[in-house]
A = this chain, B = another copy of it.
């Protein structure tokens, strides 16, 4: 008689991540979630507090993963360009390791209720701040051109955040996260144009 490899709570959370990703938070019902796990709807509440609570856990776990990595990178004694490269690699790698959760993190966070919603926005702001700091230092050190810091950060993060879509729909070529990070870095750092 094999013991279950993961707890029922983890089963529920995994199924919820996938369902929130596929249908969105609002369109996901606790009844369908229960069916997916193989128990009655009421039984879910022996393992989780509420639908909203699952969303909160998924969103903040992802936020924490992004944060842990960027805070290791920020203190590395290397050039700003090297740090930016590492931050990009790390960001794509975190997404790659959590495809379902990433999709929820990027698309369903606005269904968070207060005060979680404000806390979430605050964390995201701090994360963006870390990227801006790297760009600022790179400009000061003469490694980067005199770009608009806010809009550059926006461009970088927009491109990176969208990769969850590439990683969950590996069309034709099965491209991996290192290759994606490498190629996006190249485009963002060196640009598309040939002449200068």
Contact = CB atoms under 8 A, between A and B. Distances in A.
Given A162-B154, A183-B148, A189 B188 contact: no
B188 A187 contact: yes
A28 to B, nearest CB: 9
Contact of A191 (B180, B183, B191): B191
What band does the interface of chain A fall in when counting residues whose beta carbon is under 8 Å from B? 35 or more
Main secondary structure of the interface of A (DSSP, over half): helix
Nearest to A27: B26
Contact of A158 (B161, B175, B192): B161
A151 interface: yes
A190 B192 CA distance: 6
Given A26-B27, A158-B158, A158-B162, A187 B142 contact: no
Interface in A110-163: 110-111, 135, 138, 142-145, 147-148, 151-152, 154-155, 158-159, 161-162
A184 to B, nearest CB: 6
A166 interface: yes
A23 B174 CA distance: 35
Contacts of A162: 154, 158, 161-162
